[in-house]
Amino acid sequence: MWKGLLDAMLRRALKTDALEVRFPDGAVRRYGPPGAGEPAVAIAFHDPALPRRLVRNADLALGEAYMDGALTVERGCLRDFLAIAVRAGEMGDDVPAFRVWRGAAMARRRAQQLNPPGRARRNVAHHYDLSGALYELFLDEDRQYSCAYFARPDMTLDEAQAAKKAHIARKLLIEPGMRVLDIGCGWGGLALTLARDHGARVTGITLSEEQHAHARARVEAAGLSGRIDIRLQDFRAVTGRFDRIVSVGMFEHVGLPAYRAYFAKVGELLDPGGVALIHTIGRTDTPGITSPFIAKWIFPGGYVPALTEMLAPVQRQRLVPCDLEIWRLHYAETLRHWLERFDAHAAEAEALYDARFVRMWRFYLAACEMSFRHHRLAVFQLQLAHRKDAVPITRDYLYGDAAAAPSPARAGASAGSRAAAE
């Protein structure tokens, strides 16, 4: 029965791509458009229970089957197969079983995303408190674990991550002496850049003990302990006022029920003349659900918001959206670099953990890359303020010669707003 149901699902979903599947009983079936010829990608199922698991929860079962060796790619590569799977997922509304599963998941999503401080810390530890040696295998030298900015297609990963930080600094209009809050500071790379290269005084917060220790060590080694304070702290516990607030790759961990509290805190902490920048993965379509595989194995409690879900709590706080930039394929390229580096060091990753862990992370990185290439995921950079005149009225200050320094008018406005605030 389950094999027949899965066969019907695949025939409905695979309308543009050809795929060959070898079932556990040895039967081989081909799916895709008529006349497609021999598929370039072929997979094999090695567990008789897999068809049932795929019918019940395709996303979770697919990832776990690859992790456990119950699914192997026989022709083509994992990235090729996941590109097909992601594109097939776009046809999910044509598959009755998927519509039923999605409806039930949507009903449960708010409860699954509740992230009070204690739970938030446990969720962060699940992913970010893994061995630091793991992240050294595939991240850039600065350990930027978020979307890079490929201003040129030939950029290296390190160049693109440096370009990301520079782009963010320009959007923040950083000036020497400014008080900056970095919500979700990671291993400290952005805090070091803002303090060292722009003269800012940075408070960085994280819930990861491993990141906290590493970032503090980097700050000490750089001789910037007087300008950077790295804290093991939840954003809800921060007090004071800041000229600038930046958050890169942290909003995905807040959870839908806490969005109002998050933006209320940003509004409370941001100086009247200040600027905030929220950099997050986002959906370019309607609200959805977190991948069950990602939620269980990679980022428990995480959620990628639709733009409408972000803007509603912003509006309630009467914050002014000054700019919204959407990066479409930058994260796909970032993930491609990460996956290539991870695969090049797979033996070292296996020595740290085991072969199953390596397959889990390979699947995670490849699935995320294909989701950014073929699904409705992007990166949002939302610039916020209390006042409309907190930033220039054009984007010229971000590019070309105008990006080198703020205009005299802009500099005067900044100085005036800081003087008023003090």
Residues carrying an active site annotation: 368
Measured distance CA(47)–CA(344) in Å, rounded = 29
Burial of 341 (0-12, 13-18, 19+ CB in 10 A): middle
Measured distance CA(408)–CA(216) in Å, rounded = 36
Sheet with 42-45: list strands edge to edge. Answer: 28-31, 19-22, 42-45, 71-75
* CA distance readout (Å), 180 to 57, 274, 406: 43, 10, 18
Instruction: Using only the alpha carbons of the chain, give its radius of gyration.
Output: 23
Measured distance CA(125)–CA(44) in Å, rounded = 35
Measured distance CA(68)–CA(54) in Å, rounded = 14
Nearest residue to 134 via CA among 365, 366, 346: 346
